[in-house]
Structure 1
Amino acid sequence: MKLKRAKAYKKQLHQYELNFGFREPYQVLLDSQILQDAYSCKIDLLARLQKMLGGQVKPMITTCDMRHLYLAEPKNETLILQAKEYERRRCNHQDLEKPLSTLECLSSVVDPKDNATNKHRYVVAANDPSTRAKMRQIAGVPIIYLSKSIVLMESMADVTEQHREREEKSKFKLGLKGQRKPDAATAPKRKREDEGQGDQSIGDQATGDAKPKAKKRKGPKGPNPLSVKKPKNDKTTKPSATKKSRPSTSEANGGDSQRGDREESAPRKRRRKHKSKADDGGDAPDGGEPASP
């Protein structure tokens, strides 16, 4: 499948999802003619359908089309066994002596009440030209067919396009109606702008003499305490007189001893030593004998 064709199919299927509610797994109604053509062309039809729709596929076949395969000449047992694996869509025509045509059977299944809408969200894969012409008259029916071993999807039918445009216009009108202003009766009550208006007296509200309440200032009133540098303690300040206490007797008696200890602990002054006269050869001091030569 070419890239351009694949993009067109993806865009078209997206419109079906938005407007008609298609979702995975996609229910594909297969007729007997497309199964026979795919078998003769040796095509894996389910794999082609999954690639085209871009998701899981649930193949379905009606009871009438299944009987067509049994009555076909020559009878293809392999194709019948393959069709038995598909989900059987009951069309309530099994009691008839002869099966209905594909056109009549699929029309009763896709649009049973003649409302021209695809209520059950079927994807119709049929090679019968009359069946495809009937499906184009029903809104929201993707049509798939086989042409020369190529699986193709028809473009969106005119009935489907008109239905999609009506749905979009209705959604647009609903959006405009929702944006209108509400009526005075249904409008919600307006809140009071001033919080202190309820505390005013009736006379003040009637005359309008009441002053509006001052607005509170937002934000911090002072500097951030974490950003302020803490003041250092001043060591030079003297203690106040009120904090002075009377010394006790033990402290008074021990004052002198403490003073003496301070003096002893204080470093002594270094004294300069003078030479004695004995060293100079003179008399010994304090009446002592002179030193021998």
Structure 2
Amino acid sequence: MRVRKQRRQRKAVRFYTACFGFRQPFRVLCDGTFVHHLVVNKIAPADKALSDILSAPVKLYTTRCVHNELRRLGDSHAHSLDAIKHLAIARCDHEGKMKADCCILEIIGEKNPEHFFVATQDTDLRRKLLQIPGVPAIYGLRNALFLEQPSTSQRQFVKTSEEGRLHMTGLEHKMLKKRTANILGAKESKDSSDEQEDFGEQYLESSAVTKPQAVKKEIGVKDKVQFKRKKAKGPNPLSCLKKKTHENSKPSSEKERKDGDGTIRSRGRKRKRSRKGKTSSDTAN
């Protein structure tokens, strides 16, 4: 049972954070009846008990009107008055002259801009708060605290607001219609300008074709660009060397000549003979 309770409370907290923008640490606005319930049932510390319910850190607030209401109740609520003095004061302009429930309803307003969780034991006040979108209510039962589940009106408000965000408003529809008209007008003007350019190009081409050739010759305009063909040139004479001639390409010691029937062989090179021996013999004689 305890697990199911925690699961429901976490689901309710996610609903308010996702749909109405509640952020941690959560702000809890307490009235005198809730503080008196905490004191009687010895639920302390109060911030720890509330943070366990919401699964997040909390900061507790009250108003001066709640202070004055507890003070008027006398000694039976003296301990509750001492306990509520430790809470932060939410600003109100009533100076303690208004009833606590009316003060809280005025602080919450129509949209709960401060994102308060309201903790109260007043069933009528809780019923009124649950009719306002984005106002979660907390109450106590003996020594346990509970978070009210989102009411049908709050869920319906979220559903209608989501559907409204999906559809265009009247102003957005007018802006879209105006923008589409501007785009279509720009496109039509562009198409007409393109047609005029095409017509002008066709006119220039036809006039260029019908011009007589005599006028072109007088002006010196040629129909086609004439390029000079490059002729093949001879080799560079400086780069060409004379061919070397080899007299004895095939050196041979003997040459053959044919003359009539026989062959005469002639030696191409005469052998030099040394005359050292002859000179020596001549000197001896």
What's the TM-score bracket when you normalise by the shorter of the two chains?
Answer: 0.5 to 0.7
Match in the other structure for 2:14: 14
Secondary structure, in 3 states, of the residue corresponding to 2:60?
strand
Secondary structure, in 3 states, of the residue corresponding to 2:182?
coil
Match in the other structure for 1:91: 92
Q: 1:22 offset after TM fit, Å?
A: 1.5
CA distance in 2, matches of 1:25, 1:7: 20
- Kept in 1: contact 2:70–2:77 (CA 8 A): yes
1:187 to 2:183 alignment: yes
Match in the other structure for 2:118: 124
- Kept in 1: contact 2:138–2:145 (CA 8 A): yes
Match in the other structure for 1:163: 157
- Kept in 1: contact 2:137–2:148 (CA 8 A): yes
Q: 1:203 offset after TM fit, Å?
A: 5.0
Deviations 1:218-261 (A, max 9, x none): xxxxxxxxxxxxxxxxxxxxxxxx99x9xxxxxxxxxxxxxxxx
- Kept in 2: contact 1:28–1:59 (CA 8 A): yes
The alignment covers a number of residue pairs equal to 202
Map 1:51-130 → 2, pairs under 5 A: 51-70=52-71, 71-77=73-79, 79-94=80-95, 96=97, 100-111=98-109, 116-130=110-124
Query: 1:45 is aligned with what amino acid?
Result: A
- Kept in 1: contact 2:10–2:55 (CA 8 A): yes
- Kept in 1: contact 2:36–2:77 (CA 8 A): no
Distance 1:205 1:125, change over 3 A: farther
Q: 1:122 offset after TM fit, Å?
A: 1.5
Distance 1:184 1:41, change over 3 A: closer
CA distance in 1, matches of 2:133, 2:203: 66
- Kept in 2: contact 1:103–1:130 (CA 8 A): no
1:135 to 2:137 alignment: no
Match in the other structure for 1:42: 42
Match in the other structure for 1:258: none
Q: Larger C-alpha radius of gyration, 1 or 2?
A: 2
Q: TM-score of the superposition, structure 2-length normalised?
A: 0.57
CA distance in 1, matches of 2:183, 2:166: 24
Query: 1:56 is aligned with what amino acid?
Result: P
CA distance in 2, matches of 1:93, 1:182: 50
CA distance in 1, matches of 2:15, 2:101: 26
Q: TM-score of the superposition, structure 1-length normalised?
A: 0.56
**5+ residue gaps, structure 1:** 191-196, 208-241, 246-293
**5+ residue gaps, structure 2:** 188-193, 205-237, 242-285
- Kept in 2: contact 1:50–1:57 (CA 8 A): yes
Secondary structure, in 3 states, of the residue corresponding to 2:146?
strand
Query: 1:186 is aligned with what amino acid?
Result: N
Q: 1:144 offset after TM fit, Å?
A: 0.5
CA distance in 2, matches of 1:45, 1:138: 26
Q: Please, what is the CA RMSD of the aligned residues?
A: 3.9
Q: 1:202 offset after TM fit, Å?
A: 5.7
| Range that drifts further, 30-39 or 43-52 | 43-52
Q: 1:148 offset after TM fit, Å?
A: 1.8
Match in the other structure for 1:151: 145
Query: 1:3 is aligned with what amino acid?
Result: V
CA distance in 1, matches of 2:96, 2:41: 33
Relative to total residues, which structure has the larger helix share, 1 or 2?
2
- Kept in 2: contact 1:27–1:59 (CA 8 A): yes
Identity %: 24
